[in-house]
Structure 1
Amino acid sequence: MGVKDNGILQTVTGWPAIRLGLECIYLGLWQLLQLAIRRLWKGRRRKLSPSASPVELRVDSSIGRHCYIKIMGVKYHYVETGTKSGQLILILGDAPDTANLWVPSWSSAVRRMAENDYHIVTLDLRGSGGSEGGSRRDLTPPKAVEELTALLKALGVSESHPAIVIGFGIGGLLTWYLGHCHGSMVSKFIVAGAPHPNLYWQHPPSPFCLGSLHFIQWPHFPERWLAESETRGDTKWASSRARDWSGALNYVRGAAWYRVHPEHKVQARGLLIGTKDSAAQLVASAQYCASPALRLVAKPEPADKDIPPLVLDFIIGKKKQVEEIPRGLVTRMLGAVADRGRELTARLALPANA
């Protein structure tokens, strides 16, 4: 049964779809004019280098093993860390730039999870890193969920051996969909910097969408615009695939036309991470979780120093220290009471010849 057939993912149809289409045309034009004025005012227009490399992987091989897998005819790249016999932790990064997933603090967290016998798979979303791209139709929520579910099954995940899923940004958006549509395959999930999909228009799924959600629905222009905006002469990613926005945009475009059933909740334990400014969004998103925990940080990104401890605590837990002193006090108190009881009993006892 497909994810649309079970009624959890619902397509926007009828008049709401017509209205959305008209809004994307007219409001998108207005947003385009605003962006153009802002661009001209800041004087940041730059040209793309025609010799840019389409794919550039900058992952330290000591962190894990580079792997490729074909799922439903699509080639995915991922980095595998830890033992394959352990519980799977699937990490879905933001798009298009996945560099944050390899900063020292987050890499240390991945190693710590591996030391605790987890099997960590850090996946490049379609159109980012070494994974194959896709058109708007290829990256709709139902298709994305179908491919990710097939990937989980290929990696040994089942209802009896569920996975833990961690998502940042657009990866967090996909984590929400997975939790709703295939919750039996997810034991825990962590979403950082990604509002619930049903809050799409109130709280955009990624910072680059702010003030441009309708314009993003346009073909071609948003990709070009964002690529030029991100190109800097001194940037580390100036000639990598990190400035290829087609994958990220197509994930976001597809999310506009689907809604999760309003009464459906993710049953797995969830950790929702956001900024202090996004507290209202976190509370609203938590309504779609049966067992949520909320945490606020400076930036909901892997590079934030507060993220790794939160994630490790949620997944591994803190080792409980044996409280020897309190236990000793209780034991001595109980012993004293018992001794006093025996003493009173002896005094009240009748003589044997009575």
Structure 2
Amino acid sequence: MGARNLKVLQVISGWQAVELILKCVFVGIWQIIEISVKGLWKGARRKVKDTPPVELTIDSSVGTHCYIKVMGVKYHYVETGPRTGQKVLILKDAPDSGNLWGPNWANAVRRLAETDHHVMTLDLRGTGGSEGGSRSELSPPRAVEELSALLKALGVTENRPAVVIGFGVGGMLAWYLVHSRGPLISKFAVINAPHPNLYWQFPPAAFCHRVLHFIQWPHFPERWFAEGELNDCDGRWASSRACDWTGALNYVRGAAWWQVRPGLRTSAPALLVGDKDSAGQLVASAQHCTTSTLRLVTKPEPNSKELAVVLLDFLISKEKLIEEVPRGLMGRMFGAVADRGRELTARLVLPPTQA
């Protein structure tokens, strides 16, 4: 179940920490060599930024831009809908790819506002208008403290819990938040974000693929991401700078050292969304939830109309009464069968864990 405090988060220590440090050093060196050779093979070309000198985007129809200071840190968020409505906190992905406020997602947010939801779309630290931070300042325990303080400052209580939606890195933070501050969350949705305890089996973000050890290094990953050496081929971050990557990488770096205590499950209903290639990740992540709904979409991004429909159905549809099975003999039998089914399913999709 979700817990009230940060004791659910455990730092990697002992021989496991030593092993991680050694892997980050030696595997990171090997990944640097691979990237350098690839750069030489390409002729050491640098990314050409074909962008206009001035980029201006103004759309006041989606909400009101607000700033709030939490634990001495400035956060920026966009507020939509009545303040007396059901609180919905949206944790954006990092780095900001600029696709959150496309027509499909903007329409979804307006629909939530029309159905008495108070939507707050938050820029994570180091993105948009929110203040950046060092690796220690963006560690999971610190992030949980700041996000829970922000929720309480915006009127969320155990009697009036919030809905949390997280994309990518924001989804990773949503997992930590729901585990650590369960009573403040009524339901949550994570899109393209594996459970943090699956960090090494399923990378926490698309840009981490095959460079998880290397990104633990300081300075170099930010520069190489900005130069396009490590970016994906669809040009999602074509105009990014090194400073745009600091926040995202520091969040991901911290997640390598913090895990949720084994055996804990979230108590709030969960919606887990991914594409067809992430089916194994979704099933494995569902093992950390008491109640979960899994959905596969063609493109799990904010500008996907299919994703907007799935989320709205999860958030707005009428609450269905869940009939509890009596905890007598039959109830215990059904529970044992269900738990065994989850265990067998997880074994089918999870790769062998490292000792």
Could you say whether these structures have the same fold, taking a TM-score greater than 0.5 normalized by the shorter chain as the test?
yes
Matches within 5 A, 1:245-324: 245-317=245-317
Q: Which amino acid aligns with 2:113?
A: A
- Structure 2 distance, partners of 1:113, 1:260, is 31
CA contact (8 A) 2:90 2:164 kept: yes
CA distance in 2, matches of 1:4, 1:113: 28
Task: Indicate the residue corresponding to 1:212 in structure 2.
Answer: 211
Deviations 1:87-144 (A, max 9, x none): 1100011111141210100000000000001000000000000100000010000000
Q: Distance in 2 between matches of 1:287 and 1:188?
A: 16
CA shift, 1:215, in A, is: 0.2
CA distance in 2, matches of 1:57, 1:43: 34
Partner of 2:40: 40
Cα distance, 1:31 vs structure 2: 1.1
Deviations 1:159-202 (A, max 9, x none): 00000000000000000001100010000100000000000000
Q: For 1:298 and 1:119, locate their aligned partners in 2 and report how far apart those are by CA, in whole Å.
A: 28
Number of residue pairs aligned between Structure 1 and Structure 2: 315
Q: Contact 1:45–1:229 at 8 Å: present in 2 too? A: no
SS in 1 for 2:268: strand
- Give 1:298 deviation, angstroms: 1.5
2:283, 2:151 → 1: CA distance?
A: 29
Aligned pair in 2 of structure 1 residues 48, 18: CA closer, same or farther (>3 Å)? farther
Equivalent in the alignment of 2:65? 66
Measured in 1, the distance between the counterparts of 2:240 and 2:258 equals: 31
CA offset at residue 10 of structure 1?
A: 0.3
Q: Distance in 2 between matches of 1:188 and 1:242?
A: 35
Closer, same or farther in 2 for the Cα pair 1:249/1:121, shift >3 Å?
same
Give the TM-score taking structure 1 as reference length.
0.83
TM-score by length of 2: 0.82
Distance 1:294 1:57, change over 3 A: farther
Letter matched to residue 123 of structure 1 = L
2:331 corresponds in structure 1 to none
The residue number in structure 1 matching 2:160 is 161
- Structure 1 stretches lacking a partner, 5+ long: 321-354
Q: Does 1:120 align with 2:119?
A: yes
2:169 — aligned with what? 170
SS of equivalent residue, structure 2 residue 299: coil
Q: Determine whether 1:189 maps to 2:182.
A: no
Q: C-alpha separation between the residues in 1 aligned to 2:117 and 2:182?
A: 20
Shift of 1:7: 2.6
Distance 1:236 1:248, change over 3 A: closer
Query: SS state of the match for residue 100, structure 2?
Result: helix
Stretch deviating more after TM superposition (97-106 or 117-126): 97-106
Q: Return the alpha-carbon distance in structure 1 between the equivalents of residues 264 and 311 of structure 2.
A: 25
Match for 1:200: what amino acid? Y
* Cα separation, partners in 2 of 1:221 and 1:303, compared to 1, 3 Å: same
Q: What's the RMSD between the two structures over aligned residues?
A: 2.8
State the partner residue of 2:110.
111
Equivalent residues in 2 for 1:51-90, closer than 5 Å: 58=57, 60-90=59-89
Aligned-pair distance for 1:58? 3.5
Q: Which position in structure 1 is the counterpart of 2:201?
A: 202
Q: Which digits, 9 at most, give the CA deviation of each residue in 1:234-254, with x for residues without a partner?
A: x79766669710000000000
Q: Is the 8 A contact 2:4 2:182 kept in 1?
A: no
Instruction: State the Cα deviation string for residues 36-71 of structure 1 (Å, max 9, x = none).
Output: 22333345742698xx99x97735111100100101
CA distance in 1: counterparts of 2:120 and 2:188, whole angstroms: 14
Sort the Cα spacing of 1:241 and 1:222 in 2 relative to 1 into closer, same or farther, 3 A.
closer
Q: Does 1:22 align with 2:58?
A: no
Distance, in Å, in 1 between the alignment partners of 2:81 and 2:277 is: 36
Q: 1:5 to 1:105 in 2, by over 3 A?
A: closer
Secondary structure, aligned partner of 1:7: helix
Residue 340 of structure 1 corresponds to: none
The separation in 1 between residues aligned to 2:15 and 2:319, in whole angstroms, is 55
In the alignment, is the contact (CA less than 8 A) between 1:165 and 1:186 conserved in 2?
A: yes
The structure that has the greater radius of gyration is: 1
State the distance in 1 between where 2:61 and 2:31 align: 44
Query: Cα–Cα, structure 1 residues 287 and 59, in superposed 2: closer, same or farther, change >3 Å?
Result: farther
Instruction: Tell me how far apart the structure 1 counterparts of residues 55 and 159 of structure 2 sit (CA, whole Å).
Output: 37
Q: Give matches, 1:226-245, under 5 Å.
A: 226-229=225-228, 244-245=244-245
Q: Is the 8 A contact 1:169 1:193 kept in 2?
A: yes
* Secondary structure class of the residue paired with 2:176: helix
Distance 2:130 2:166 in 1: 17
Q: Distance in 1 between matches of 2:257 and 2:98?
A: 29
Bigger mean CA offset, 266-275 vs 6-15: 6-15
Matches of 1:22 and 1:139, distance apart in 2: 23
Read off the aligned partner of 1:92 and give its amino acid letter. L
The code of the aligned residue for 1:137 comes to S
Q: Aligned with 1:129: secondary structure?
A: coil
Contact 2:222 2:242 in 1 (8 A): no
